[in-house]
């Protein structure tokens, strides 16, 4: 291989590597999902919301990354119970329910108790810290 061919190859490979790295960095900064991904951590909840709603139903995946079983419920603005869930440690559960964008919806951890986790469509990833 001649020196110029090697230099062209090296330049192209380096440009591809930089492009791939920048793309993966951008994907990490803009976490998106087709469903709500709610991750329970020991001291906070992390929510990744869908960019937009497709149809009238929305899926919610709850991941329990704590050492205790989580019992909670989904409610709307009027505190109407939509669904009760129990998730064992290091497990996850997926549910679907009708989602009206005119109302707000929440996941309310009951045991261990935690503040309401609001489910906002179109918002970038956000965390709900524990209340002291």
Residues 6+ apart with CB under 8 A from 119: 36, 38, 47, 49, 60, 104, 105, 106, 107
Residue 100: which pLDDT band, with cuts at 50, 70 and 90? Answer: confident
For residues 49 and 94, state if they share a domain: yes
Q: How many domains does the chain have?
A: 2
For residues 110 and 45, state if they share a domain: yes
With residue 93 as reference, give the H or E element that holds it. strand 92-98
Q: What is the pLDDT of residue 32?
A: 58
For residues 41 and 21, state if they share a domain: no
For residues 53 and 104, state if they share a domain: yes
Per residue in 27-86, pLDDT tens? 444 555 678 999 999 999 999 988 777 777 888 999 999 999 999 999 998 999 999 999
């Amino acid at each position: 291989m001649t020196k110029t061919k090697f230099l062209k190859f090296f330049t192209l490979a380096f440009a591809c590597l930089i492009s791939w790295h920048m793309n993966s960095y951008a994907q990490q900064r803009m976490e998106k999902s087709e469903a709500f991904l709610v991750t329970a951590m020991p001291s906070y909840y992390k929510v990744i919301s869908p960019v937009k709603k497709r149809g009238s139903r929305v899926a919610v995946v709850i991941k329990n990354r704590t050492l205790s079983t989580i019992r909670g419920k989904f409610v709307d603005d009027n505190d109407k119970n939509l669904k009760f869930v129990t998730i064992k440690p290091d497990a996850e559960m997926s549910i679907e329910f009708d989602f009206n964008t005119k109302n707000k919806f929440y996941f309310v951890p009951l045991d261990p108790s935690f503040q309401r986790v609001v489910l906002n469509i179109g918002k970038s990833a956000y965390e709900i810290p524990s209340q002291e």
